[in-house]
């Protein structure tokens, strides 16, 4: 069965620090990967996605993620975080069969100190 | 504005009471989903529907029921059989695509037990 694991549950950084959030997946089909973000008081929204092609994908607000097939990983990165990046981040993969559902990781809460 | 509207924002349930959470979308999406979000557990799928008048159980359907009489609407009822209903409930919608569906989320309903 598909699964997603996020290693860091709570990360605290100072502004300008670099960020890397881990995501590992177990998936038997064509790999499509997502990162979603939930800012305080806002809707959960798509941050970036990988469907095919260049394994380094760029998303909104300077975020990027690298798909490493050999490591079953899709880690999220940002060179320099800002206070406004404080949010909860979720990695996700498609569910099994043709359901269209997503399997989400446990989430990582990022707190950026000004 | 296109989007997903969930109501109410906050809901309180008494013991033995059924409550219904509303979800409406004007994105013309065929697929709709209900997730439950608990701290440290990510999002877990309750029910989903890929077409009007049809829906399937997700991973944690026990104690919940849904209907899909209209394309735009996918209400969730939390029944008295759900013994631990306190959580944040998120509704989402997407096009029907096995793997590349980007899901769009509502603002959520926070349910508490009195």
Q: What is the pLDDT of residues A18-45, one digit of tens each?
A: 999 999 998 766 778 999 999 998 889 9
Q: Which residues pair with B93 in a beta bridge?
A: B32, B104
Q: Residue B31: list chain A partners with CB under 8 A.
A: 100
pLDDT tens string B33-46 = 999 999 888 899 99
Residue A74 has pLDDT above 70, yes or no: yes
Q: Residue B2: list chain A partners with CB under 8 A.
A: none
Candidates B87, B30, B76, B103; CA nearest to A90 is B103
Decide: B65 and B80 in contact? Cβ < 8 Å.
Answer: no
CA–CA min distance A104, chain B (Å): 6
Q: Residue A4: list chain B partners with CB under 8 A.
A: 42
CA distance B110 to B8: 8
pLDDT of residue A85: 97
Mean pLDDT value of segment A91-107: 82
The answer to whether the Cβ–Cβ distance between B101 and A49 falls below 8 Å is no
B90 touches chain A (CB under 8 A): yes
Residue A101 has pLDDT above 90, yes or no: no
Percent of chain A with pLDDT strictly greater than 90: 72
pLDDT of residue B99: 61
Best of B27, B57, B99 to substitute, by most chain A Cβ atoms within 10 angstroms, is B99
pLDDT of residue B28: 94
Residue A101 vs residue B66, higher pLDDT = B66
DSSP H or E run through B83: none
CA–CA min distance B42, chain A (Å): 4
Best of B10, B41, B61, B103 to substitute, by most chain A Cβ atoms within 10 angstroms, is B103
Banded pLDDT at A61 (limits 50, 70, 90): very high
All residue ranges of chain B with pLDDT < 50 are: none
pLDDT of residue B15: 84
CA–CA min distance A100, chain B (Å): 5
């Amino acid at each position: 069965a598909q699964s997603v694991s996020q290693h860091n549950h709570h990360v605290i950084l100072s502004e300008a620090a670099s960020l890397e959030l881990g995501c590992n997946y177990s998936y038997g089909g064509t790999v499509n990967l997502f990162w979603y973000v939930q800012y305080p008081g806002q809707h959960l929204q798509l941050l970036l996605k990988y469907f095919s092609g260049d394994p380094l994908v760029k998303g909104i607000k300077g975020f990027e993620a690298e798909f490493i097939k050999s490591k079953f990983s899709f880690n999220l990165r940002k060179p320099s975080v800002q206070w406004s990046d404080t949010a909860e981040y979720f990695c996700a993969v498609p569910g099994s069969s043709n359901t269209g559902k997503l399997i989400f990781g446990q989430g990582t809460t990022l707190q950026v100190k000004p | 504005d296109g989007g997903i509207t969930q109501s109410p924002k906050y809901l309180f349930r008494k013991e033995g009471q059924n409550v219904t959470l509303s979800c409406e979308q004007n994105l013309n999406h065929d697929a709709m989903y209900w997730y439950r979000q608990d701290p440290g557990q990510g999002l877990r799928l309750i029910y989903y529907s890929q077409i009007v008048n049809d829906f399937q159980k997700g991973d944690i359907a026990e104690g919940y029921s849904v209907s899909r009489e209209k394309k735009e609407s996918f209400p969730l009822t939390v029944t008295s059989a759900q013994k631990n209903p306190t959580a944040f409930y998120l509704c989402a919608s997407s096009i029907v695509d096995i793997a590349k569906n980007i899901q769009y989320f509502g603002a959520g309903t926070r349910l508490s037990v009195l």
